[in-house]
Structure 1
Amino acid sequence: MLVAAAVCPCPPLLVPEVAAGAAAELEALRAACDEALAALVAARPELVVVVGTGPEAEVWTEGGAGSFHRYGVPLVVRLPVGGVEGPELAPSLTVGAWLLERAGVKLPTHACAVPADAPTDRMLGLGQGLAQLADRVALLVMGDGSACRSLKAPGYLDERAEGFDAALAEALGSADVAALAALEPGLAAELKAEGRAPWQVLAGAAEGAGLTARLGYRDAPYGVGYVVATWN
């Protein structure tokens, strides 16, 4: 049963060593993520599952490691599963593993990568399955909002982006499972909102769980929508 979830964005710049001189610009975002992880741990889950996008569907149940070498930073992080290194994590999950390590989480942890274009019904079903893995399951859901919030954004400016992110923040901040399930894959893809599939995994896992939510952060630095929320 799902007892808690932390929703965080996954830009590599969240890691101070990667951000370097620009690290201070995302300090408020890091603080919000830290609070979300603390709330997740406080729910006393038996199992944590990190969910994020990846090039293909893949599951890590016996450990996993990811690095920030591609950004010129000699930093390696691992899922907290008995010190086993395991196969390489998808980039979004690597940021999730970094957040868990930063928070000192020592709980059994699995990880699940889903393609950004995965069908909604499949994501809802996956979430339902993840919620049944233990009596007390928590999800760390990694995903960015629209990357089209400004002229300098990775996806350039799209006037629909601000409304999309506003509706997303409302859904994540109120545990609105139906609204998350109703996110349109096509629109999300056009706005380069890669968190759509992971958020719908959360919707499936939270169905019937009766969780409440709190929005911890909502902004669009660098023209990308970032939302942090806690569900418990």
Structure 2
Amino acid sequence: MLVAAALCPCPPLLVPEVASGAAAELEPLRAACREAVGALAAARPDRLVVVGPADRAGQGPHPQGATGSFRGFGVDSEVRLGAAPHPPARPLPPSLSVGAWLLAHAAPVDAPVEGLGVDEALAPEQCLEAGREIAASAPRVALLVMGDGSACRTVKAPCYHDARAADFDTTLARALATADTDTLAALDPEEAASLKATGRAPWQLLTGAARASTPLHGALHYDEAPYGVGYFVASWT
């Protein structure tokens, strides 16, 4: 059963060494993430799963001890998902690497930690089913859900400006703040993909887990669009 979830964006810029001179600009976002992730420890989960978007190489399960790095972003820095004496060879995708970094910089969660890289194009029903399966996997499950909103909020955004982006992100923020699973389940994969909202599939996986569990209450800690990308931080408890 799902007992808690933390929802965070996954730009590698969250890691100060990657952000470099821009690190101070994102400290409010970083602090909100630490707050949301730290709250997972209070839920006393038996199992913690970090879920995030991934390309083909990073899709699927990543066991505790899996490692990732930010070398692709110019920083010779490595992170580990939980602890294990012999980490597996397959590296974490960037979204799960950011999640592992957040876990290492928040209150420790006393539970086994695993990762799941999700195909951004995964159909909604498949996302919901995957969430239901995770919720049923242990008596007390917690999720750290990584994903960004639209990347089209301004003309300087990575994907330029799209007039639909503001409404998409406003609807999303309201749903995350209230743990509104109906709205999240109804997110359109094609619209999300066209707006480069990488969190759609992970959020729908969370929806499946939440619907299979006792209702949770949402709280939104951060809702801004630095660099034209919608970043949201929320807690479901």
**TM-score category, normalised to shorter length:** over 0.9
Say if 2:45 is the partner of 1:45.
Answer: yes
- Structure 2 CA distance for partners of 1:83 and 1:178, relative to 1, 3 Å: farther
Q: What is residue 103 of structure 1 aligned with on the other side?
A: 106
**Counterparts of 1:39 and 1:166, CA distance in 2:** 24
Which amino acid in structure 2 is aligned with residue 122 of structure 1?
A: Q
CA contact (8 A) 1:62 1:84 kept: no
CA contact (8 A) 1:141 1:198 kept: yes
Offset from partner CA, 1:69-119 (integer Å, 9 cap, x none): 111211100011334422200110000000011125353111101111110
CA contact (8 A) 2:64 2:115 kept: no
Offset from partner CA, 1:117-143 (integer Å, 9 cap, x none): 110000000000011111100000000
Which amino acid in structure 2 is aligned with residue 70 of structure 1?
A: G
Say if 2:223 is the partner of 1:221.
Answer: no
CA contact (8 A) 2:52 2:199 kept: yes
Q: What is residue 148 of structure 2 aligned with on the other side?
A: 144
Q: What is residue 112 of structure 1 aligned with on the other side?
A: 116
Structure 2 residue runs without a partner (length 5+)? none
1:180 to 180, 184, 198: 184
1:60 CA drift (Å): 1.3
Q: How does 1:5-24 map to 2 (within 5 A)?
A: 5-24=5-24
**Counterparts of 1:132 and 1:50, CA distance in 2:** 16
Q: What is residue 167 of structure 1 aligned with on the other side?
A: 171
Between stretches 61-70 and 125-134, larger displacement belongs to 61-70
Between stretches 98-107 and 130-139, larger displacement belongs to 98-107
- Structure 2 CA distance for partners of 1:196 and 1:174, relative to 1, 3 Å: same
Q: Secondary structure at the match of 2:223?
A: strand
Runs (4+) of structure 1 moved beyond 4 Å? none
CA contact (8 A) 2:64 2:112 kept: no
Structure 1 residue runs without a partner (length 5+)? none
Which amino acid in structure 2 is aligned with residue 36 of structure 1?
A: A
**Counterparts of 1:227 and 1:54, CA distance in 2:** 19
Under a length normalisation based on structure 1, what TM-score does the superposition of the two structures give?
0.97
**Counterparts of 2:214 and 2:68, CA distance in 1:** 32
Which amino acid in structure 2 is aligned with residue 44 of structure 1?
A: R
Which amino acid in structure 2 is aligned with residue 226 of structure 1?
A: Y
Under a length normalisation based on structure 2, what TM-score does the superposition of the two structures give?
0.95
**Counterparts of 1:37 and 1:51, CA distance in 2:** 13
Identity percentage of aligned residues: 56
**Counterparts of 1:103 and 1:97, CA distance in 2:** 10
Which amino acid in structure 1 is aligned with residue 209 of structure 2?
A: A
Which amino acid in structure 1 is aligned with residue 182 of structure 2?
A: A
Q: What is residue 66 of structure 2 aligned with on the other side?
A: 64
Which amino acid in structure 1 is aligned with residue 133 of structure 2?
A: G
**Counterparts of 2:94 and 2:176, CA distance in 1:** 22
Between stretches 63-72 and 154-163, larger displacement belongs to 63-72
**Counterparts of 2:189 and 2:127, CA distance in 1:** 11
**Counterparts of 1:25 and 1:209, CA distance in 2:** 37
